[in-house]
Amino acid sequence: MQQNFLPDTATPADILRAGLAAARGPVSLACSFSPEDVVIIDIAHGAGLDLGVFAIDTGRLNEETYEVSEALAERYRLKIDWYFPNHTDVEGLEREKGLFSFRESLENRHECCRIRKVEPLSRALSGLAGWVTGMRRTQGVTRNGLSAIDRDEVNGGILKINPLLEWTEEQVLDYAKEHRLPMNRLFTQGYRSIGCAPCTRAVKPGEDARAGRWWWENAEQKECGLHRR
């Protein structure tokens, strides 16, 4: 979809503007408080764009993630809409299968992600004309075929906007450093993609950014269901 109205030289701010204009309705950033998400918030703020922000609290986030959330809320006077999993579903899962069933099989991991992430996401996206993510093409093999702006057919055909798609990790970090943006303290400890605490580890030298997510699985399986295609 991006080739219809975006030049190759489009900046993240250009992509955001084009996406918001094309959506013709409310658009929000799905924020996990990664460096990418923090950069997008700063770009949108600097450009005066009307971009909402929502976050999903799975119940298993790191303390450091909450610290970034509070820092952003204070710095930008930002209202963050939090969504939580259905408590009955979480209770049922943990009573039936325990606290670490997601490590036993891919099916179990998808079940946990569906309860803790995908179902809350569906509520967060309800009523939106589009949503923004911090996904980048170089993060892993599951993200090679993305477009800067696309239709999210899985979520009702709303727009999905990826303004940092062509940025490298170095560009993200350089921007964050230049603008003195809040950063998750785990990132300085080698965590390059941060999700739920039990499912995230620091990456090893030479590994890609998402190698620390569900490290017991194959690379082509490393999505939680939020970005189904």
**Distances in whole angstroms, Cα of residue 79 to Cα of each of 46, 61, 73, 129, 228:** 16, 19, 6, 19, 27
CATH class for the domain made up of 2-190: alpha beta
3 has a pLDDT exceeding 90:
no
Active-site entry in 31, 196, 199, 224: 224
What is the pLDDT at residue 223? 59
CA distance 200 to 192: 9
5 has a pLDDT exceeding 70:
no
Global pTM exceeds 0.95: no
In Å, the largest CA–CA distance within the chain is 52
The domain ranges of the chain are: 2-190
CA distance 50 to 89: 34
What is the pLDDT at residue 1? 47
**Segment 23-60, tens digit of pLDDT:** 999 999 999 999 999 999 999 999 999 999 999 999 99
Residue 196 annotated in active site: no
What's the whole-number mean pLDDT along residues 159-173? 95
What is the pLDDT at residue 170? 94
